Structure 1
Amino acid sequence: MTSTKTLDYQFGQKHRDYMRRCLASTINVAEGAVRAGKTVDNVFAFAYALESAPDRIHLATGSTSANAKLNIGDCNGYGLEGIFRGRCHWGKYKGNEALYVSTPSGEKIIIFAGGAKADSYKKIRGNSYGMWIATEINLHHDNTIKEAFNRQLAAKGRKIFWDLNPDNPNSPIYTQYIDLYAEKQRKNEFPGGYNYEHFTIHDNATITQERMTEIISQYDQSSIWYMRDIEGLRCTAEGLIYRQFATAANSQQNRFAYRAEQDLTFFKIVLGVDFGGTGSGHSFLATGITPGYREAVSLASERFTGDDIDPDRLGQLFVAFVQRILHQYGRITAVYCDSAEQVLIRGFRKALQQAGLGYVRVYNALKSSIIDRIRLTTRLMAQGRYFYVPDQCQSLEKAFCTAVWNPKSLTKDDRLDDGTSDIDSLDGFEYTIEQDRNRFLNAER
Structure 2
Amino acid sequence: MAVISNFVRKKTIPYRFSEKHKDYIRRCKKCSYNVAEGAVRAGKTVDNVFAFAHELKTTPDRIHLATGSTMANAKMNIGDCNGMGLEWIFRGQSHWGKYKDNEALFVKGPATHYKQKIVIFAGGAKEDSYKKIRGNSYGMWIATEINLHHDNTIKEAFNRQLAAKRLKVFWDLNPDNPRAAIYSEYIDRYQKQEEEGNFPGGYNYMHCTIYDNINITEERLHEIESRYDVNSIWYMRDIKGMRVVANGLIFRRFADDISTKKFSFAIKDKPKDIMEINLGIDFGGSGSGHSFTATAITRGFQMVIPLASERISCKDESGNAIEIDPDMLGRMFCNFVQRILSRYGYVTVVYADSAEQTLIAGIRSSLRKNGLGWVRVENALKTEINDRINATSILMAQGRFAYMDGECDSLVNALCTAVWDPKELTRNVRLDDGTSDIDSLDSFEYTIERQISQLIRYG
- Alignment match, 1:240: 249
Match of 1:106 among 115, 128, 131: 115
1:169 aligns with 2:175: no
Matches for 1:25-424 after TM superposition, within 5 Å: 25-102=31-108, 103-104=112-113, 106-260=115-269, 263-305=271-313, 306=315, 307-424=322-439
SS at match of 2:394: helix
What is the deviation of 1:350? 1.4
What is the deviation of 1:254? 2.2
RMSD of Structure 2 on Structure 1 (CA): 1.4
Q: Is the 8 A contact 1:270 1:334 kept in 2?
A: yes
What is the deviation of 1:4? 6.6
What is the deviation of 1:139? 0.6
SS at match of 2:456: helix
SS at match of 1:386: coil
What is the deviation of 1:2? 5.3
- Alignment match, 1:11: 17
SS at match of 2:363: helix
Superimposed CA distance per residue, residues 301-354 of structure 1 (whole angstroms, 9 cap, x where no aligned partner): 111113142112111111111111111111111111112222221111111111
SS at match of 1:409: coil
Q: Is the 8 A contact 2:285 2:323 kept in 1?
A: no
Match of 2:442 among 421, 427, 432: 427
SS at match of 2:30: coil
- Closer, same or farther: CA 308–124 of 1 in aligned 2, 3 Å: closer
| Separation in structure 2 between the aligned mates of residue 312 and residue 168 of structure 1, nearest angstrom | 44
Q: Residue 277 of structure 2 aligns to which amino acid in structure 1?
A: I
What is the deviation of 1:160? 0.2
- TM-score normalised to the size of structure 1? 0.97
Superimposed CA distance per residue, residues 7-42 of structure 1 (whole angstroms, 9 cap, x where no aligned partner): 111111111111111111010000011111101111
Q: Is the 8 A contact 2:8 2:54 kept in 1?
A: no
| Separation in structure 1 between the aligned mates of residue 18 and residue 358 of structure 2, nearest angstrom | 58
Match of 2:452 among 427, 437, 441: 437
| Separation in structure 2 between the aligned mates of residue 267 and residue 48 of structure 1, nearest angstrom | 45
Q: Residue 93 of structure 1 aligns to which amino acid in structure 2?
A: Y
What is the deviation of 1:122? 1.1
SS at match of 1:367: coil
SS at match of 1:60: strand
Superimposed CA distance per residue, residues 261-281 of structure 1 (whole angstroms, 9 cap, x where no aligned partner): x84221211111111112211
Q: Is the 8 A contact 1:118 1:143 kept in 2?
A: yes
What is the deviation of 1:237? 0.5
- Closer, same or farther: CA 297–196 of 1 in aligned 2, 3 Å: same
Q: Is the 8 A contact 1:4 1:86 kept in 2?
A: no
| Separation in structure 2 between the aligned mates of residue 3 and residue 428 of structure 1, nearest angstrom | 54
Q: Residue 187 of structure 1 aligns to which amino acid in structure 2?
A: E
| Separation in structure 1 between the aligned mates of residue 345 and residue 10 of structure 2, nearest angstrom | 56
Q: Which runs of 5 or more structure 1 residues have no equivalent in the other structure?
A: none
What is the deviation of 1:226? 0.5
- Alignment match, 2:4: none
Superimposed CA distance per residue, residues 383-407 of structure 1 (whole angstroms, 9 cap, x where no aligned partner): 1111101200011101000000000
What is the deviation of 1:5? 5.6
Q: Residue 298 of structure 1 aligns to which amino acid in structure 2?
A: P
SS at match of 1:192: coil
| Separation in structure 2 between the aligned mates of residue 312 and residue 424 of structure 1, nearest angstrom | 20
- Closer, same or farther: CA 263–309 of 1 in aligned 2, 3 Å: closer
What is the deviation of 1:52? 1.1
Q: Residue 47 of structure 1 aligns to which amino acid in structure 2?
A: A
Superimposed CA distance per residue, residues 154-197 of structure 1 (whole angstroms, 9 cap, x where no aligned partner): 00000000000000011110010001101111111111110001
What is the deviation of 1:247? 1.2
| Separation in structure 2 between the aligned mates of residue 101 and residue 347 of structure 1, nearest angstrom | 51
Q: How many residues are paired up?
A: 443
| Separation in structure 2 between the aligned mates of residue 278 and residue 90 of structure 1, nearest angstrom | 48
SS at match of 2:406: helix
- Closer, same or farther: CA 211–130 of 1 in aligned 2, 3 Å: same
SS at match of 2:13: coil
SS at match of 2:414: helix
Q: Residue 358 of structure 1 aligns to which amino acid in structure 2?
A: G
| Separation in structure 2 between the aligned mates of residue 256 and residue 5 of structure 1, nearest angstrom | 50
What is the deviation of 1:105? 6.8
Q: Residue 29 of structure 2 aligns to which amino acid in structure 1?
A: L
| Separation in structure 2 between the aligned mates of residue 308 and residue 338 of structure 1, nearest angstrom | 17
| Separation in structure 2 between the aligned mates of residue 309 and residue 105 of structure 1, nearest angstrom | 67
Percent identity between matched residues is 63
Q: Is the 8 A contact 1:227 1:235 kept in 2?
A: yes
What is the deviation of 1:106? 1.7
Q: Which runs of 5 or more structure 2 residues have no equivalent in the other structure?
A: 1-6, 316-321
| Separation in structure 1 between the aligned mates of residue 209 and residue 33 of structure 2, nearest angstrom | 21
